[in-house]
Homo-oligomer: A and B are copies of this chain.
């Protein structure tokens, strides 16, 4: 881009104003589908709101002049063919499914931003060399079916349509039934549209954390996605009368768990970032005011960018739990039910985004994503990266989720520049 600094600055201001107006309009428009009374959005995979939103998105992509297709599971693809299609596509995308009472930005932002960026590039620079390809993935959240990343899992071969995973929603409806009822399934549409030869995948997303906001950074360069372990612990004491059992004669399961929760917090803080560890859920029996708790079940969610460091942390923590249980005469058992390895994203793409930030004088930082994203699956088939913009107070999965239009526009600018470099400039 041989634009003199002055005129470049001017161009950038014009672009940002344009992106700001466009993203405001697009986010508001999409938030109407599945709008709920809480001020948030509920769009669950294959439900009426999700279907309506995907269909309307498809129409808008058609209006933009893209080639539009659904694949067999319901991922929506919009393609702007390049002059050198055989050199591999540049793919961007995210998802429009939400959690129950979710926000307007999680996922949706990446789709809206991708459409705006591609529209702008086409208008500005004409047909690209490589294909520009946008995907609205199915069920990233796993909020209807316990099968997060179903759409990107299908595209990357983690899941296959020949063997649809057994998954049911809370009403007992199977994934297969719901998919069929929504008009998808084997033979209904094109098979997966992104086979070999993707050149790169880029996902633009809100941070869902407060790090960028607190450090006043405009852009997060996502080096990787943390590994996660999830465990459930059972602690057994003796349920007894709260009035007649002296303090020294108790086997109070809840008091023991309280000490374990303190231990989690203490060790996680001492270990330092990017480690996070959370006890978010407890089940207490009998859970009565006047009975000492006899049995408590609690969950642990622990994450770190390095899977082996995560394992070491969890092992030491469990040893600490064992000591607490022993000291308090409590029984302790546990089960690990999730162990997702950390995924490193493509460092070359991260460097490209860094250069774009520097050129645009945007404050940025490198960081890990503490949440999972479709990008971690896409990284298994092509170089992938993620770009984060700030989330106000780090709040996500809530109607309170918010990022200003100015911040959203800056993210689109960076995405647009990266797509330009990858699809128009390189060869």
Chain A residues with CB under 8 Å of chain B are 207-211, 214, 226, 228, 230, 238-249, 252, 254-255, 257-259, 261-262, 264-265, 268-269, 273-282, 284, 286-293, 299, 301, 303, 369-372, 393-398
Contacts and interface: CB of A to CB of B under 8 A. Distances in A.
Contact of A396 (B211, B244, B265): B244
Contacts of A246: 209-211, 273-274, 276
B258 A369 contact: no
Contacts of A290: 230, 278, 280, 301
A269 B394 CA distance: 40
B394 A276 contact: no
B280 A245 contact: no
Contact of A209 (B241, B274, B293): B241
A287 B293 contact: no
A262 B255 contact: yes
A239 B398 contact: yes
Given A238-B395, A245-B276, 9 more contacts: A208-B241, A240-B395, A241-B394, A241-B396, A243-B301, A245-B394, A247-B275, A262-B262, A282-B284
Contacts of A258: 257-259, 261-262, 265, 279
A254 B244 contact: no
A288 B280 contact: yes
Given A245-B210, A394-B249, A282 B292 contact: no
A242 B276 contact: yes
As for how many copies of this chain the complex holds, the number is 2
Given A244-B369, A395-B240, A301 B289 contact: yes
Contacts of A242: 276, 278, 280, 301, 303, 370
Nearest to A208: B244
Contacts of A286: 280
Contacts of A268: 247
A227 to B, nearest CB: 11
Contacts of A247: 265, 268-269, 273, 275-277
B287 A238 contact: no
B265 A255 contact: yes
A250 B287 CA distance: 26
Nearest to A232: B289
Contact of A254 (B248, B274, B280): B280
A244 B281 contact: no
Contacts of A269: 247-248
Contacts of A291: 280, 397
Contacts of A280: 242, 254, 284, 286-293
